[in-house]
Amino acid sequence: MVQKIMVPPYFGPISCWKQIINSTILWDVHQNYIKQTYRNRTFIHSANGLQKLTVPVKHSKIKFSMLEAKIDNTIAWQKNHWRSIQSAYSSSPFFEFYKDSLEKIYLKKYTDLTKFNFDIINLIFEWIEIEIKSELSKGYNIWYENSLDLRKNIENKRCTSSENIRYRQVFSNKNGFLNDLSIMDLIFNEGPNSISYLK
C-alpha cells in the first residue's frame, strides 16, 4: 500500500476522507502554515446554503509550521461553530447519535490547532469505525520518495473538482445538493452508511 502524505484538516471534505480510508498516512505537521485553507476551515450546509466555519489562528510576520499554529481564543469561535452545526444538522437523520461526542470537543479549550484537528480526525475514525496506519512527520521535507503527496489538496477550496455521488442533505430541497462538504455533512445525513459511500 502506497503511503499518502497529507496535512491534518479541520474535519476535511468528503473527497479528502476518500483518500484517508484504507490508506497509510504520513501527517505532515512541519509544512508551513498557510491561512485560508482546510487547515483551519470547513464547509457545512446551512439553511442559507454554503457556510464556512473558520478556526481563528494567531498570525505572525514570521513563518511558522502547522505544528506551531496557535488558536486565537479571544474569539468565541467554539461556541459559534457548535451553534452553527446544531442549527444546520439538528434535523438530520443521525445527528442525535453523534452530537454528544462532538459537543465534548467544542467544550474543551484548545491552544494548538494540530491537537484540535487530530481530536476531530480521531472522532471521525470512531464514528465510521475505521483504523488506519498513520504517523507524524519528523521534520520538513519538500519531497517524499515512493509516496503519494496529497499535501497541496489542503490548499484548494475543494480537494477535488469531481462531483461526489449525491446523498440526501437536510436543505437540499431549498438549496440543491452541495458537493464535497465537510465529512460531518455526510455522517450526519448517512450515518453508518458513510463508510460504504467513502469506499
Domain count, the chain: 1
CA distances (Å), origin 152, targets 2, 4, 28, 30, 182: 17, 12, 11, 14, 18
Return mean pLDDT, the chain: 92
- What local confidence, expressed as pLDDT, does residue 51 receive? 96
Task: Tell me the per-residue pLDDT of 100-144, one tens digit each, with 9 for 90 and over.
Answer: 999 999 999 999 999 999 999 999 999 999 888 888 988 888 888
Beta bridge partners of 100: none
Q: Which of 32-46, 84-98, 140-154 has the highest mean pLDDT?
A: 84-98
Flag whether pLDDT at 161 surpasses 70. Answer: no
CB 99 within 8 A of CB 64: no
Domain membership of residue 38 as a residue range: 3-198
pLDDT of 162: 58
Task: Give the C-alpha separation, 105 to 99, whole Å.
Answer: 10
**pTM: predicted TM-score of the whole model, two decimal places:** 0.92
180 contacts 36 by C-beta, under 8 angstroms: no
Instruction: Over range 60-87, report the average pLDDT.
Output: 95
